[in-house]
Structure 1
């Protein structure tokens, strides 16, 4: 029985624990969910709910597509470089959803759990763009399962109200630059995780922390 319960944990067969929370780190029912949201005590991934303020959701927004992408790239670059101070960052995911439990959510997956814990502890005492940051450990480790598979193909019929993550991507040029600068930074510090405090992280062009 114990082996069976372990095998179905966090799946749709699990009648006790919420499969959506386990896969995505957020559930549309929130605290009213009939199933348990088991918050991890350790994880490689952190979640910062509602952190990205997408100008597209502001009715007064007058940005064109290029300006909106530049706005997002500035945010993404700033955050990536700041998170590198806590350890080796493997993935940064920003939600482009409109629903309450996913809007503006930012996930960051580190190589090591202690890096994620350090980031979580310190970010909860910090602000970004004049707003306090809220941060928690997330059960999400595989974003292939968390992200909507239709969003990158023919399109998702539910659009921004899908309960799976619709990932907002930086420009290809910025993504390439960040990957290259991070590799260079890791090479400089010899990939020694404990030396992170002794080596500067990649620097963004614009800062809002």
Structure 2
């Protein structure tokens, strides 16, 4: 029975734990959800709820006065926000990914997810954010169970064909320009190593495929995947990443939360 419960933890078959909270750290039912939201006591990822307010959040493409907004102005507004948040949170440690939701549903609109390399860096950032404001609004921050953004993002949105639009229950992650990404993430050694390898000479006939692979790697890096398999990473980097408890997979996290549930039930008896 225990093995069966562990195997379905965080899936639609799990009638006890909420799969949406497990995957994206947010649920449209909130505290009224009939399933449990196992809030982590420590995590490398923080969720800053409803923090980003886009200038056309009432009606996409239109400002509060009903006037059309140039899409370039909207992107500039977003990238100014992104850089501001990155610089502030970067004071507490190395940021592996910073994702901002473009969803419109109340439980996801403007959500900001920041994943640090180490859990203690996230803990320090969380403590520093308590009681602070941004643009006149209080910052609502907490640890998030999300550690793999590839499971949390909407694949159809990335391919520009999500039929649920802004009310999709998976992350629609807003993208920043390549130059800003290079400016912010380029300060980290792992990113510089990856970029230097991608610039190695290749035959002219393969340049288009190489550019496409580079774009895919850039997108994976932005989402926290880093675009390389464990076999391609330097030995020193693999060892350093393996020391962090944040690298556990879904099965390990499910088993750990299941253990927490059993311990909680034992204490209540």
Per the TM superposition, whether the score is higher than 0.5 is yes
- CA deviation profile, 1:145-183 (whole Å, cap 9, x unmatched): 101000011410011010101001112221121121344
SS of the equivalent of 2:74 reads helix
- CA deviation profile, 1:48-93 (whole Å, cap 9, x unmatched): 0000011121433653111111111100011111111111110001
**1:78 aligns to what?**
84
- CA deviation profile, 1:79-119 (whole Å, cap 9, x unmatched): 11111111111000100001111000000011111111111
Instruction: Verify: 1:123 aligned to 2:133, yes or no.
Output: no
Instruction: Verify: 1:106 aligned to 2:79, yes or no.
Output: no
**1:30 aligns to what?**
30
Counterpart contact for 1:69–1:171, Cα < 8 Å: no
Which residues of structure 1 form unaligned runs of 5+?
192-209
SS of the equivalent of 1:74 reads helix
The CA distance in 2 between the partners of 1:137 and 1:85, in whole Å, is: 18
SS of the equivalent of 1:168 reads coil
How many pairs does the alignment contain? 189
Q: CA deviation at 1:6?
A: 2.0
Q: Which moved more, 1:162-171 or 1:117-126?
A: 117-126
Instruction: Verify: 1:135 aligned to 2:136, yes or no.
Output: no
Which residues of structure 2 form unaligned runs of 5+?
59-63, 193-236, 238-269
**1:196 aligns to what?**
none
Specify which structure has the higher proportion of helix. 2
Q: CA deviation at 1:7?
A: 2.2
C-alpha spacing 1:35/1:95, structure 2 compared with 1 (3 Å): same
Question: Root-mean-square deviation (CA), in Å?
Answer: 2.2
